[in-house]
Amino acid sequence: MGTNILEMVDDIAATMSEATVEAQKTAGKEGIYNDYDIATPDTLETSRAVYVRLTKNASGGALLPGIVCKPDTTSSKLFRTSTLGAAAATDKPIGVVNRHIAAAGVPDDEYFWMVIEGPTEVIDAGSGVTAGDTIKTGAAGEVDANSSTPLEFDIGTATETAAADATFVASINCRGNS
């Protein structure tokens, strides 16, 4: 497996069909790459590792970059390898749709590299955040600042300040949830 997302895409496409993944038996496979600026791939963004898992979009529609995902809990087999889509405020987060996915998102029934730990972009649910805020799942796969005690729905820390409804970089950790 490569050390950046471009090399990973050479190893396995950014999204893959269910038939391809099932034939290769790669559902749930995990990878790691160095965080970099997608506009200039030779430039490291944070010098941090990004951990990803090959996960199926079973939401019924496209999943856009930066959306927090909830698990498909219809069977224990699917828990690590399939997402039912955008998490709500009361759903345990299992990862975030990788910011390097095309803007149109991941089509339904396609597999994609979901970020489970490390820096990635998320979308504010309307309240705005300050760098250093703990963030939690909000509405429709977006995030809110968590001003109370830690919750099981916390997904990480905002690494930059963002206005309401803005996309921003956060350091997430959902490994223990999936």
CATH number 2.40.100.10 given to 5-177 = no
Domain ranges of the chain: 5-177
Measured CA to CA, the distance from residue 170 to residue 53 in angstroms comes to 18
Rounded to two decimals, the pTM is 0.82
Nearest Cα to 114, choosing from 79, 65, 156? 65
N- to C-terminal Cα distance for the chain? Answer: 21
Q: Per-residue pLDDT tens for 58-70? A: 888 999 999 999 9
Q: For residue 98, what are its two tokens?
A: 């990788």
Residues of the chain with pLDDT under 70: 1-16, 18, 21-26, 37-45, 75-81, 177-178
Closest to 135 measured CA to CA, from 125, 145, 126: 145
pLDDT digits (tens, 9 = 90+) for 31-60: 888 777 656 666 666 778 899 988 888 888
The CA-atom distances, in angstroms, between 53 and each of 39, 58, 72, 133 are: 23, 15, 14, 26
CA distance 9 to 7: 5
